[in-house]
Structures are given as structure tokens and as C-alpha cells.
Structure 1
């Protein structure tokens, strides 16, 4: 077994306490020639050694719907892969082409619990995603007829359990929030499964009719999210945010990255900044749009009292690094500053001459998150803080001092 097959069998124990057994082809048959009663088979796709989704063998329609729901079709290669998988399942060839199986025995399963919670029978497909510290199963819930009911998330360790609980609280708060151009998922159920936190939310109408937001839509989203609480303009030194960030850095202990992060925070100018809410992980994977409306999900990092503009910087950084971290970060140092000078963010309180200060605070915050979550140990390419983030931060620290001096 490699690390991924170990993760897969451990995940099977969470979802199906009866456990799962990895194998090839169909399950062994009884003496009468029939499969073991109650045994179900799932396909790890593309393989058990590199699972990204887990699809039911016996439910072809659920599998094809899951491919469409889970595919990130942002490039031609991704669209072609999704099309090939869809055709393979729709034609019935997928079980012949994909030989790895996860065999699940009889017994009470997460499907039973979800069906009881939602008062309807549901079948599931599971999104696993690439290795990272906050990787957790996301379950697509479908009726037997193939209609999408919603999505469920389950915590599998301390970090992911905390994030599931955080998203539950966020969705409860967003129920009554005023977001004129943004639709968020509704919370359908909160509970536990197998001793772990469970949330169920409805499915947003995201698909062929939606696309990535335009730059203007994105900034309108950022401004509307920031206004989830009244925006306050404060000197950085007097803001609760700075005190909280300093505490989070101190909680890192004696890691080698702690001292430079603390030093950079201490040396930033005492700029007046607007503080409001941020989504915390606004990327192309968590937002889609029509010409008139944006749909935003994955609210597990929602936080308040944060410098306005963080969401725009986070989205832009993740876009810039798609084709390489180092050239992407170099580009972001320029494009991120231009975003903060946009009239929409200026109207929200981001003052001229504070762009580098906001960008430096964002990188300090991001580095602190990565280190607390141990993202580098989980294999995230962006989490190598000393490789790209600390050098970028050093340059921003100098730029911030110059900007404040020039603006004054």
C-alpha cells in the first residue's frame, strides 16, 4: 500500500463502519455463485493509488452526475478528461476499463444516516481530492432517480472536524445575511456520523450555465462579503486583527519561520486600514457566476475583522501560480497591488499608499495558516513558506515603508 491507498481504506472506515476492502474486479462469490449479500462496489478514479473521486459501480447515472459535479473543467485537458469519463460510465465500459475496486460489506452506512436525516433515500458519490492537510470527503447526494439533493461534508481528523464545524456556523450566520449579488448554500442538516461532525448543504445551480466571475464581479463579491459586518477603519496597531495575528504567530512556537513573521509584522507601518469580513478561500474552485449573479461555496474559513481586500489578493494569488509558483508570485506582487487600487476597493476604504501593507499582512496570515495546518507536511506546493513566501514578504515590507512615506 502507498499513502493514498492507506488513506482510502481509512476513509472507508469513516463512511462505512463495516469497512472497505481494496481489490481488483468484482468481489469473490459465494458457493452458490452469487456475490456476498449486501456487498457493494465503488470505483476509485483514476485508481486506488491516486484516488480523486469514489463512484458507485452499480449506479451508472449517479456516477455520471458525480463526474459532472466534481470535475474542475477550467482547462481543455480537464474538459476532455471529464468527457471521456462520462462517456465511459454512460456506455457501461468504465467498470471494464477501471479495475480497482473498493468493496464495502453489509451494515449501517453513511447513506442510511443521510437518508434518515433528509427523510428520503439517497445514493452517494465521494470527492476525495489531492493530498493536503484539510482534505476531507465531500459527498454528492442524489435521489435514486438521479436528482441532486445536496452535498455532505464529514470531518476525518482534528483539523477537518474543526473546519466542518466552522462551515456549519458560517452557513447558519449567512442564512440571514444581505448579499445582494451572491447566492450561498443553505444548511440542510447538522449532526454527527461515526463520531465525526457532519453537515449537509443544498446544491447551488452551478454547471454549464455558469463560468468564472469577471474581474468586476469578483471585486463586487469581495466588497459585499467584507460588508457582512460593519467595516471599521482603524490604525493597524489598534486593531483586534493585529493582536490576534500576533497571538497566532506566537502559538507557532520555536519554528524557524516564527521569528521572521513576527519581525515583519512588527515593522509594518501603522497604516489606517478598513477591517471587515472575508470568505477566507475565495478561488476559482469555490465561486461561479452568471452575468448577473455569483454563487459562492466552501465557507469554512469565514472570518471577521480582517483587512478588506484579502479575498481579492487570495483569488489573484491562486490564479497567478497556476503555471508555476515563483513566476506566479512575482506577477502577483504587481497585479495584487493594482487590484487594491481599484475604485471598488478604494470606495470600501482601502487608501492609496497602503497596498503593500495589506499584501504583507495577507502573506503573514497565509503563512501562519499554512504552518498551523501543517500543509507543507501534507504535500501542498504552495505551503513551502520559506521557499517563496518569506522572500516575497521581505520585499513587501520595504515597499510598505516607502508607500507610507510617499503618501504622507
Structure 2
């Protein structure tokens, strides 16, 4: 049993306290499950590398789960999605995929969600790659395969904080409509098996939407920034800077804490516009049409951060798709160009503060990763001493040079 099968077994204990058992799809196990009137799920592609968990004998729910959770941004990913969709649609998947998750007949997460929403439903589960904030995202479907919404269930202390934070964020955003940005409605909040649970509506994302263009992205970013109003403050007197320094101090004796705190103190004391930021705006959490952006995963929403953080975060995650080090080098230029775009000037962001804001973003991101212990989970950008601290050194010099020039 590797770490992934251990995670899958632990996850099953959260979702189905009646019991979950990993095993092969042999006839003896199938007869035992039928006798106990339990369910079968397929870890895909395997129990040793689970990314989605799909109902073994509900073709429509499994097929919709594959297409809903597929990233589909590369030729390889699209081909894999097409093959899996075909295998489930024809009923061949249970024959081709060996591993099974056998679930007992007692009350499970399906029963809780059926009661919460007062309707029959099926589920497909997105597990995703190992990360500190990894948690199951459940696609909720009618028995015929129509999407009802998505549920998130916490599995530990960090994910409990995030699920509760997203619940608060959705409640807040429901009272603050955005002109060109659609946010999912909160359908239910509660607990399951001692863990926070939320259900939100599914956004109309599909063939009519795509990744945002540069203009669409910045239009979305500026509207999110203004959610709680924008105010311009000197960095030294801003509540944000004080809060960030406290978060760094709370890292204790970690070796990265000292250089982060020193970098923060060396930044020029410029006036910066502060507003809200989504906190994790990436290609996986946004889709656009020509007129609207659809944005989800609001668990990192913060109402007090330098304007432009969302644009920088989106751009950094795009740049590193082909490799961290070349991507960060590219981002140092492309991120600067994004913040200098005329659309960003509407937030009050001025050219001589661009590198200061970029440096603040890296300090904030490093502090988050260290608190969440992302490096221990093997995240792509989590090794902050490998790429982030060197990039921060160059940005500090650039920030000082910009601030010394004409405002």
C-alpha cells in the first residue's frame, strides 16, 4: 500500500463511515457487495494514482464526471478524457479498470447530500494530485446525469479552515454582485462525519466558455479588487503589511522566515491601492465568454491585499506550466507588463509601484505555502527557497529603482 492508497482508504472513512474497502474487481467481491447492498466505485486511473472516483455501474454519472473534472488543456489530456468517456459510455470501463472501492450499505455521503438537497442524486468525486489543501470535490448529478452542483468535504484541519472560509466568502459575495463576474450560489452548508461540508451551484461552464483573454482576465481582476472598495495607503501604515509580517513571524524558526521578513522590511514605502483578491485565480478556477467571467473556488478570498495580486497569480501559474525556473524568469517580465496595462490603472496602481507589488505577492505566496506545508506534499511551486527567494532578490532591486524615479 503506497501513500495514495492510504489516502484513498482514509478518504473513504470520511465519506462512508459505514466502511470502504479497496480491492480488485473479482466476482467474489462483487457478490459480497451485492449481498450487503453496497456500492462500487472505480478509482481512476488506479488506486495507486487516484484522480477521480467514479460510480462503477452508473454510466451517465461516470461519463459526466470525467468530462466535468477533465483539465483537457493538452493533447494528451484530451485524448485520455476521450478514451475514458468512451469506456464508460459503452460499459467497458468496469472490465478495463481493475481496482475497486467497495462501500458498505450504511449511510454515506450520498445519503447526507440527498437529504440536504431533498432530491435523489448520484456522485462522482474529484481527488486531484497530492497537495496540502487536497480534499474531495463531489460532482452532484441527477440519476439521469444532469449536474445539480458541487460539494466540498474537509478531511483535516487545513481543509476545514478552507471549506469554512469558502462558505463565508460565498455568503459575502452573494450580497455583492459583480458586474461581469458570476459566482456560484451557496446551496447548503453543514457538517458530515464531523467535517465541514458545503454545496454550491454548478456554473454554466462548457463548450461556450474558454480560458480568459488578457483583457477578460484584467476586467475580472479589477472587478474582484473593488468588491470591498479600494483604498490607497502607504505600505508602512497599511493593515495588510502589518498582517503579513505577523504571518511571517508565526512561521517561527523556519529558515525561510528571516529572508522573507528582511525582504518585506527593505521594500520602498510607496503608496499602494488595496482591495480584494480571489487568492487562487488560475486556469482551473475561471472560464470566460466575451462578456462574462465565471469564477469558482473562493476559499482563499481576502478583502485586503495589494491590487494586482490575482493577475500576478494567474500569470505565474500559466508561465510555470512548461517548467518552474524558465517560467518564473518569463513571469518577471510578463507580470510587470500585466500590472502596467491601462486596465489596471483604474485600480489606482501606478508604474513606480509595480515591482513592489510583485515582491509583496511573492512574500505573501511563500508565507502561505510555508504555513500550509505545501513542500511536504510535493507541490510544483512549493519549494520557495529553490525559486521564489532568488526571484525576490531581483525584484527588491527593481522596486527600489522604480520608487526612486519620478512618480
Do they fold alike, i.e. is TM over 0.5? yes
Is it true that 1:158 corresponds to 2:150 in the alignment?
no
**What corresponds to 2:273 in structure 1?**
274
**Alpha-carbon distance in structure 2 between the residues aligned to 1:83 and 1:33:** 32
Is it true that 1:38 corresponds to 2:37 in the alignment?
yes
**What corresponds to 1:292 in structure 2?**
291
Contact 2:33/2:102 (8 A) holds in 1: no
Which stretch has the larger CA shift, 34-43 or 397-406?
34-43
Contact 1:27/1:35 (8 A) holds in 2: no
**Alpha-carbon distance in structure 1 between the residues aligned to 2:109 and 2:395:** 48
How many residues of Structure 1 are paired with residues of Structure 2 in the alignment?
Answer: 407
Matching of residues 4-403 of structure 1 within 5 Å: 4-26=4-26, 28=28, 35-403=34-402
**Alpha-carbon distance in structure 2 between the residues aligned to 1:387 and 1:75:** 27
Q: How big is each residue's C-alpha offset from its partner over 1:52-87, in whole Å with a ceiling of 9 and x where there is no partner?
A: 000000211100000010001112211111111000
**Alpha-carbon distance in structure 1 between the residues aligned to 2:62 and 2:103:** 17
**Alpha-carbon distance in structure 2 between the residues aligned to 1:29 and 1:231:** 60
Contact 1:45/1:55 (8 A) holds in 2: yes
**Alpha-carbon distance in structure 2 between the residues aligned to 1:273 and 1:38:** 61
1:12/1:397 CA distance change after superposition, 3 Å:
same
**Alpha-carbon distance in structure 1 between the residues aligned to 2:79 and 2:202:** 24
Contact 2:38/2:102 (8 A) holds in 1: yes
**1:307, distance to aligned residue in structure 2 (A):** 0.2
CA RMSD of aligned residues (A): 1.2
What TM-score do the two structures reach when normalised by structure 2?
Answer: 0.98
**Alpha-carbon distance in structure 2 between the residues aligned to 1:268 and 1:322:** 29
Q: How big is each residue's C-alpha offset from its partner over 1:257-286, in whole Å with a ceiling of 9 and x where there is no partner?
A: 000000000000001000000000000000
What TM-score do the two structures reach when normalised by structure 1?
Answer: 0.98
**1:27, distance to aligned residue in structure 2 (A):** 5.7
Q: How big is each residue's C-alpha offset from its partner over 1:4-62, in whole Å with a ceiling of 9 and x where there is no partner?
A: 000000000000001211111146269x9983231211000000000000000021110
SS of 1:101's partner is: strand
**1:121, distance to aligned residue in structure 2 (A):** 1.0
**1:140, distance to aligned residue in structure 2 (A):** 0.4
Which stretch has the larger CA shift, 138-147 or 3-12?
138-147
**Alpha-carbon distance in structure 2 between the residues aligned to 1:19 and 1:246:** 45
- 4+ aligned runs moved over 2 Å, structure 1: 26-30, 32-37
SS of 2:276's partner is: strand
**Alpha-carbon distance in structure 2 between the residues aligned to 1:143 and 1:34:** 23
SS of 2:387's partner is: helix
**Alpha-carbon distance in structure 2 between the residues aligned to 1:175 and 1:358:** 29
SS of 2:351's partner is: coil
- In structure 2, the gaps of 5 or more residues are none
**1:367, distance to aligned residue in structure 2 (A):** 0.1
**Alpha-carbon distance in structure 2 between the residues aligned to 1:34 and 1:347:** 61
Contact 1:276/1:305 (8 A) holds in 2: yes
**Alpha-carbon distance in structure 2 between the residues aligned to 1:193 and 1:369:** 27
Contact 2:33/2:104 (8 A) holds in 1: no
**Alpha-carbon distance in structure 1 between the residues aligned to 2:162 and 2:10:** 19
1:29/1:325 CA distance change after superposition, 3 Å:
closer
Contact 1:226/1:276 (8 A) holds in 2: yes
